[in-house]
């Protein structure tokens, strides 16, 4: 039940998204929604690249289907966690993100962990040069 999952995720201090094995976001905790500036209905059943506003998710084919997606650290980390069941910790990813101030290159550090048929994607920190958000817990 997604409501119960959301309650559990809300008890975590870090921003966390729960994704299915195809990379679609099922839910996220309050901290993730605040960080992303989104409501739950805006993230449910959308691909991770769409949720974080990756610029390439608007290209023909969409998230996961462009030539840029083959090198996407977030996509590849999710695939490794789903396929090999391996948890990854603080993996640096560089994404071009749509923001109110235009497209910005952001360094995003993520961790992944497989839980049954789902993957927990924790956003450890986001850095955009002079502006950054960092979670110090590991």
Q: What is the pLDDT of residue 73?
A: 94
pLDDT of residue 10: 87
Place 38 in a pLDDT band, splitting at 50, 70 and 90: very high
Q: Side-chain half-sphere of 25: how many Cα atoms within 13 Å?
A: 27
pLDDT-derived band at 3 (thresholds 50, 70, 90) equals: low
CB 111 within 8 A of CB 91: yes
Query: What pLDDT does 114 receive?
Result: 96
pLDDT tops 50 at residue 60: yes
> Tokens 């789903």 map to which residue?
82
Q: What distance in Å separates the CA atoms of residue 125 and residue 136, rounded to the nearest whole number?
A: 8
pLDDT recorded at residue 99: 84
**Higher pLDDT, residue 8 or 129:** 8
d(CA 24, CA 128): 25
pLDDT digits (tens, 9 = 90+) for 72-129: 999 999 999 999 999 999 999 999 998 888 888 889 999 999 999 999 999 998 876 5
* Structure tokens belonging to residue 98: 């749509």
Q: What is the pTM of this model?
A: 0.86
Under the banding of pLDDT at 50, 70 and 90, the label for residue 135 is very low
Both tokens of 49, joined, read 């690249």
Predicted confidence band at 25 (pLDDT cuts at 50, 70, 90)? very high
Residues paired with residue 123 on neighbouring β-strands, in sequence order: 110
Tell which residue, 51, 31, 29, has the closest CA to residue 42: 51
Mean pLDDT of the chain: 87
CA 14 to chain centre: 12
User: CA-CA distance, 104 to 136, in Å (whole number)?
Assistant: 23
């Amino acid at each position: 039940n997604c409501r119960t999952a959301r309650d559990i995720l809300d008890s975590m201090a870090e921003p966390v998204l729960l994704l299915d094995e195809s990379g679609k976001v099922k839910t996220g905790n309050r901290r993730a929604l605040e960080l992303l500036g989104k409501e739950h209905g805006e993230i449910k059943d959308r691909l991770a690249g769409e949720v974080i506003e990756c610029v390439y998710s608007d290209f023909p084919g969409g998230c996961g289907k462009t030539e840029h997606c083959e090198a996407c650290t977030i996509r590849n980390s999710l695939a490794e966690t789903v396929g090999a069941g391996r948890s990854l910790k603080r993996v640096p990813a560089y994404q071009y993100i749509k923001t109110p101030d235009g497209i910005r290159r952001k360094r995003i550090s993520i961790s992944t962990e497989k839980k049954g048929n789902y993957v927990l994607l924790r956003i450890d920190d986001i850095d955009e040069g002079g502006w950054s958000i960092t979670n110090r817990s590991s």
